[in-house]
Amino acid sequence: MSHHLLLIFHLLGACIWVGGHLILSFGILPEVLKKKDPEILLNFERKYEKIGIPALLVMVITGVWMSYQFGIKWDNWFHFSNPLETAISIKLGFLLVTILFALSANFLVLPKLSAKTLPLMAFHVISVTLLGIGFLLVGSFIRYGGISF
């Protein structure tokens, strides 16, 4: 598959993933916290997951594929040896932290979600939203050759 087509799918996934989390953080979460009603959050999550999780999977698949097209294979990840590999490794680090937040939310927070635990869930939501924005910012550096420290 051409790099340009992979990039288009990657960016569409990012629009859905980050856009959905921005809507959740700025549109849904304030109402949830104000009304102390976890059901509002759960209703959004049930609807959003149908498109959000596939979007994340598309981003992971296309991101790894494009990394290989750039010559940055899995055995070069997290070496921080050149600017392009550094940007890719940072994005992969963000992905790992995002997965940890998802596991925490799904197994520890959501099963016990109540008005009392809403602030903890809000922390998860805002953290994943900030990670999504971080993905976008770091990804923009790939266009310019990566990140140098």
Sign, CA dihedral 90-92-98-99, equals negative
Cite the DSSP H helix spans in the chain.
Answer: 3-23, 29-35, 38-69, 83-104, 118-142
pTM, two decimals, is: 0.95
- Separation between Cα atoms, residue 4 and residue 64, nearest integer Å: 14
Return mean pLDDT, the chain.
97
**Which tokens in the block code for residue 39?**
């059901």
* pLDDT the model gives residue 121: 98
pLDDT at residue 143 is higher than 90: yes
Measured CA angle at 140 (ends 125, 85), to 5 deg: 95
Tell me the per-residue pLDDT of 35-84, one tens digit each, with 9 for 90 and over: 999 999 999 999 999 999 999 999 999 999 999 999 999 999 999 999 99
Over pLDDT 90: what percentage of the chain? Answer: 99
- Separation between Cα atoms, residue 86 and residue 65, nearest integer Å: 16
- Separation between Cα atoms, residue 16 and residue 10, nearest integer Å: 10
Euclidean distance between the first and the last CA atom of the chain, given in angstroms as a whole number? 32
Nearest CA-CA partner of 21 in 96, 128, 138:
128
* pLDDT the model gives residue 29: 98
* pLDDT the model gives residue 149: 84
